Structure 1
């Protein structure tokens, strides 16, 4: 029997996520942590520029991406084996302690770039387990029918953190330099820890396969999709029969009705899977899932086609058109506003019909808007196009994220989230230097159109996959 330190959340007590105090505590913790992250990155870049050359500062900023990309898959295994709540709390505690320690050292002395590089490596290493656990946590907090709404709420939190984090970091730097900004980031991350401790986890049975132990949070059952296991109803019925008597009966049957064990005999224990076996099991699960496998391919194509143009490409486009930094800021604000509206729509509605088809249409329409952005005749037209890009990309991203949350067996969500994170944080950034080089050779127009075509392939993948195209969000 699973023992919990905090009373579990039961399915019968589900409320709309935006009215559920338990979900709101999780959202508050997530928002505080994300705002702290934004303040931390601004403080790190400022401190690195002050301590070294621009190229050295760029190296310090980039060094955290290496451990994050290399260790992300292992982080998904850690989240699934030990429970996402424990991993998120532990990760935030480590990140908070590291940032506050650096703040204290910067107040006392000027240790140089080596300390900032060490902090960046540590932050990236912890992020490798933090991010998959964050992706797996919502399924432990609310019911499947609320996960789409939670995805919208999470999107709003990210937009809020992006808008608020940079000014807060700048205020910290203005008042006390990089040390004050690091201290502020550490305090914001620290706020998330007690909030997460107060969040109640759902009382969900263990899967019983794959070697994942019960963690006191209630590991989750399979949903029976794409992995060859029994149906969800049969799984829940079988899980409900747990107990000593049922175990003894199963043992007698497995032994050919040989009767009870001899007194003092140790109970048979299934060998526990190693982390490597859990990783392979997770990758097999994703590869064999009729919805998740094409969904992750679509996400990868969308990110590859989207990240380059909306980062390096937009900067070069603004320079060529003479819009300046303020004009680029307006275009970025249009994109952010559109993405925020999409997140708000999913938060309010909670569920959009025909999610698979709608995601495909949004991806295809968004890719057309990306291609059109490079041909906008004026700044006002570019801002309007960026607003449309943000709305469509935000809608497709939110729907893909919600489908990922609701289609994945929650016992595998850490590993599924880690694969999605590898795609977004490992592969997609590679498009930025490629986009910059290609624009230097061929100009912004052809590169934006090519990137739009890559992004549109994601929508084609969704339409060509019957199970994904027909996928619905739970009611």
Structure 2
């Protein structure tokens, strides 16, 4: 019996290939998102554009749990390769359809919906890979490095999408995104090979595996606490950043340029937080990450209360703690959840974003209408802080 050798992370070509190829794919995704939004705005009403941008979440939410069960039943890496191939097919067929029939609401909505369904198979499978690639003590560095690459990909992908759709149209954007999936598929096939075996689920059917996944969370208190906490985090922060910050900037008369600078401040701070996570090794990753989010909750409240300089400080607090805590909590999640149930647990966390986030956005907007921006931000921030403190207390029981 041979023991797998784990090279130092800084010289691990498999990990570097995974991070780099995932970043290329994320840049392509960001370009696709920008191109899709711009194209939808050209051919339909604002309501129709909203339908195009949101319709992919419905099939993704419906399929995510099954995607998690598939990831635990079959080899996650192979599932990712097949899902990438399916995404390439969707984009190439979509580009061909646009070339033949031109842009239309029906065509854009169909491509977005099918793309969301295929993505639901890829996402849970990708969550099973880090645990099989590196030593447990290197998971924080892997997560932090992935975050840094993701930030760079978003910064590069958004303007790239704008340039591509302006000069080549949506077809060019789709081909570029498909090419980015070719990059990650090739990396997965030939370079990114897991070092540890994947334990597989043993249920007689996918539905049985799903029931077993929920039963596992019922009996494992630590895993259950982390899943509940992670499922609620973005539902608190997302609406404040997507709705509250825009409303605060607009109501204060600061202008769209300042909104852009505020978002940039958060992005830079998140990169700094990820760098800190690479160096800081707390004894209890889960508790340290959760307690860091109390600072993030304070930043969320400050968005509704502080003058312009204070909002910049708030965005820096939110970004830095996001970069730090995300790396720590991602590693804690990988370490804590039984590998046999990792795909299913990961899919449940992602399901909250896909299924509940639209409701959270609408609810937060309604809360602002019924009260005010400061009151809405403070109320949600208090709930956010209560959630992470509850989880920090319970995570080691």
Q: Same fold (TM over 0.5)?
A: yes
Given that 1:149 and 1:351 are in contact with CA atoms closer than 8 Å, whether structure 2 keeps it comes out as: no
CA separation of 1:459/1:177 partners in 2, compared to 1, >3 Å: closer, same or farther?
same
CA separation of 1:394/1:458 partners in 2, compared to 1, >3 Å: closer, same or farther?
farther
Does residue 1:362 correspond to 2:292, yes or no?
yes
Distance 1:350 1:72 in 2: 33
User: Residue 352 of structure 1 aligns to a residue in which SS?
Assistant: coil
Does residue 1:373 correspond to 2:366, yes or no?
no
Number of residue pairs aligned between Structure 1 and Structure 2: 396
How far did 1:390 drift? 1.1
Other-structure match for 2:319: 390
Distance 2:328 2:387 in 1: 13
Given that 2:132 and 2:198 are in contact with CA atoms closer than 8 Å, whether structure 1 keeps it comes out as: no
Given that 1:133 and 1:414 are in contact with CA atoms closer than 8 Å, whether structure 2 keeps it comes out as: yes
Could you say what the CA RMSD is over the residues aligned between the two structures, in angstroms? 1.9
Does residue 1:201 correspond to 2:181, yes or no?
no
Structure 2 counterpart of 1:406, from 332, 335, 338: 335
Instruction: Indicate the structure (1 or 2) with the bigger Cα radius of gyration.
Output: 1
CA separation of 1:54/1:404 partners in 2, compared to 1, >3 Å: closer, same or farther?
same
Q: Aligned ranges for residues 227-246 of structure 1 at < 5 Å?
A: none
Q: Deviations over 1:430-461 (max 9, x none)?
A: 21111111112211000000110121022221
Q: Deviations over 1:33-63 (max 9, x none)?
A: 2111111111111221222112111101111
CA separation of 1:350/1:277 partners in 2, compared to 1, >3 Å: closer, same or farther?
farther
Structure 1 counterpart of 2:358, from 417, 429, 436: 429
How far did 1:337 drift? 1.4
Structure 2 counterpart of 1:332, from 248, 260, 263: 263
Does residue 1:28 correspond to 2:24, yes or no?
no
Unpaired segments ≥5 residues, structure 1:
2-9, 212-271, 469-475
Distance 1:201 1:79 in 2: 14
How far did 1:90 drift? 0.9
Other-structure match for 1:215: none
Other-structure match for 2:349: 420
Other-structure match for 1:300: 231
Distance 1:388 1:11 in 2: 43
How far did 1:169 drift? 0.5
Other-structure match for 2:211: 280
Distance 1:280 1:453 in 2: 34
Structure 1 counterpart of 2:276, from 332, 339, 345: 345
Unpaired segments ≥5 residues, structure 2:
none
Distance 1:175 1:394 in 2: 34
Given that 2:226 and 2:395 are in contact with CA atoms closer than 8 Å, whether structure 1 keeps it comes out as: no
Distance 1:327 1:86 in 2: 45
How far did 1:318 drift? 0.6
Distance 1:37 1:453 in 2: 34
Q: Aligned ranges for residues 65-144 of structure 1 at < 5 Å?
A: 65-144=57-136
Structure 2 counterpart of 1:54, from 46, 59, 81: 46
Distance 1:296 1:466 in 2: 11
How far did 1:205 drift? 6.5
Does residue 1:462 correspond to 2:391, yes or no?
yes
